Amino acid sequence: ERAFPNCPEMKKNKVSIAGLSDPPVDGQINETVSAARHSHVGENDENQERGNWSSKSEYLLSMIGYAVGLGNVWRFPYLAYRSGGGAFLIPYIIMLAFAGIPLFFLECSLGQFTSLGPTLVWKAVPILKGVGYTMICEVMFLCIYYNCIIGYSLYYLFAAFQYPLPWEDCFSWWGYSCMYIEQNHYTQYFLFSFFSSKVTLRRSNSIAETGVVVWYLTLCLLLAWIIVALSMYKGIKSSGKVVYFTAIFPYVVLTIFLIRGVTLEGAAKGIEFYIGSQSDFSKLSNIEIWKDAATQIFFSLSVAWGGLMTLSSYNKFNNNCYMDAIIVCTVNCATSVFAGFTIFSILGHMAYRQDVPVSEVVQSGFGLAFIAYPEALLQLPQAPFWAILFFFMLVTLGLDSIFASVETITTSLQDEFPVLRSKRHYLSIVSCACLFLLGILCVTQAGIYWVNLIDHFVAGWSILIIAIMELIGMIWIYGGNRFIKDIEMMIGEKKWYFWIWWKACWFFISPCLLILVFIWSLVAFVPPKYGNVEYPIWAVALGWCMVIFCIIWIPIFAIVKIVQAEGSTLWKVRKELYSLVMFSEFTLIKDVMEVIFPPWLLVAIK
């Protein structure tokens, strides 16, 4: 009650905590609720200030859509192939159990219990409020470059409504002539690479050569933001309806591709390379494989971006967030494995047609989605139809993630400035417009270099730091056992042994894994490259500046909170660490002992 006065259960019991929130006048409440209800609050919503999901299915689909993104399709299959095939599933599942699900459950529980976005949940540990603002900076960078990828997908989608596909011929209509390599199997691959580099992106030679704004990519980016703005017009009330299509459609397409793929000659060859007899269990002794599994689990679940807290904050207070976390994490990881079968069945056919090993047609990341796989689709009859399905799937995969990311920004603004709740639709439009303008740099001739640079730096280091700070703040400072009691207030009391696994992970295993991954990433740091193009020193320095810009808010807010507090320096630090939690109630030794020993043994010790 002292740490989370804004939790719905506290409000229902009319708990008022001096110093954290001043009780508003009844007329002000009615005015605020009445104004907000017009835009995003239903009459039957439990939380009449912020609103709730219209149904449980909308929440689950939004969470699945947010967690399942482009990385499930273009990164996991390549990692599995490169890291020992089926053997990679062992470290992948272990990392899911020890790091992925515990962090996912923590964020969902925290968002649901407080009914607040990432900036205000830190009332429990005021000194760490900067962590919330770091999340907002992270998610802004994500929106900028991620929606540019959706813009690229929209361009390819529109280009696919032609027969033959524009990357099948020699582009004489564009003013370029074909170049053929002696071996025939390299010709088609060169064509799409040529189309992607020279026609779609009009790519310059390096990030230093900005060039001009590519007008048709700018229009596609604008269209992507218009779709997002319209879908987010009424917040979760409107986006919750859109996800019925955007979250389900990718599974329909993946299933269609898998059915078509396994019927093609050479499909078995591709699947064998993915997860079959090519599995190499000796690679499990390589620490790099475990690091890849940890980072893939961590990033594919979208933890530490603030989106999970935001989406969960619109749940009803007694929603079973535990089962939700298990369901979403399981679906996310199953999707990655399923997508791998789909991708490699088609690539196997491509390798068969060109009489080359599968390893010669496999690429990672952007290259898999926008070069290798479209090339493989050229080998199929009615190639335009398959290309349309594929790029439309990429669009829908990306949109779900953008919905949650924009919602994170707008929700945080509304939590900080409640007057904005009645202007939710304007806030969504203005946010999308600003993010569109910030993304213009990514649709210049050097745009793809900027997309790759942001993805390499911002989507890596800062996320690990945020996750570590989350565990330190909520488990080690606020108190893991206290947090468990908060969760039980929502989902009901559990037996002591139910929490053994969660305590072990939250207190010890997950922090250690995150710190090890962070240190290993620093030690093994390699400057980014796009293809064979290396980044200049100033670009690498700029990438580190992006990371610093995101995480600098953590020490800034900590210093401000300490300076503003009253009393001696030591008292200031303690006060801002523990908020209004009674200091005598918090003992780290007691919490750690309760992790190790069952209750009956603790009683005996006493």
Which contacts of 155-159 are long-range, i.e. CB under 8 A and separated by 24 or more positions?
155/200, 155/216, 155/217, 155/220, 156/200, 156/370, 156/374, 156/387, 156/391, 157/388, 157/391, 157/392, 157/395, 158/220, 159/200
Q: Round to whole Å and give the CA distance between 375 and 350.
A: 8
Residue 400 counted as an annotated binding residue: yes
Encode 363-412 in three state secondary structure.
Answer: CCCHHHHHHHHHHHHCCCCCHHHHHHHHHHHHHHHHHHHHHHHHHHHHHH
What three-state secondary structure class fits 196?
Answer: helix
Residue 68 counted as an annotated binding residue: yes
Radius of gyration of the chain (CA): 25
Cα angle for residues 8, 421, 125 (degrees, 5° grid)? 50
Residue 65 counted as an annotated binding residue: yes
Residue 397 counted as an annotated binding residue: yes
Contact predicate 169/177, CB 8 Å: no
Instruction: List Cβ neighbours of 372 (8 Å cut-off, separation of 6 or more).
Output: 347, 361, 362, 363
Residue 36 counted as an annotated binding residue: no
Instruction: List Cβ neighbours of 68 (8 Å cut-off, separation of 6 or more).
Output: 247, 250, 300, 331, 332, 335, 397, 400
Residue 72 counted as an annotated binding residue: yes
Q: Round to whole Å and give the CA distance between 73 and 337.
A: 9
Residue 332 counted as an annotated binding residue: yes
Burial 393-420 (b: 16+ CB within 10 A, else e): bbbbbbbbbbbbbbbbbbbbbbbeeeee
Contact predicate 230/432, CB 8 Å: no
Q: Round to whole Å and give the CA distance between 363 and 226.
A: 32
Q: Round to whole Å and give the CA distance between 53 and 55.
A: 5
Q: Round to whole Å and give the CA distance between 596 and 508.
A: 11
Q: Round to whole Å and give the CA distance between 97 and 505.
A: 9
Q: What are the tokens at 348?
A: 């196997």
Can you say which residues are annotated as belonging to the binding site for Na(+)?
A: 65, 67-68, 72, 300, 332, 397, 400-401
Can you say which residues are annotated as belonging to the binding site?
A: 65, 67-68, 72, 300, 332, 397, 400-401
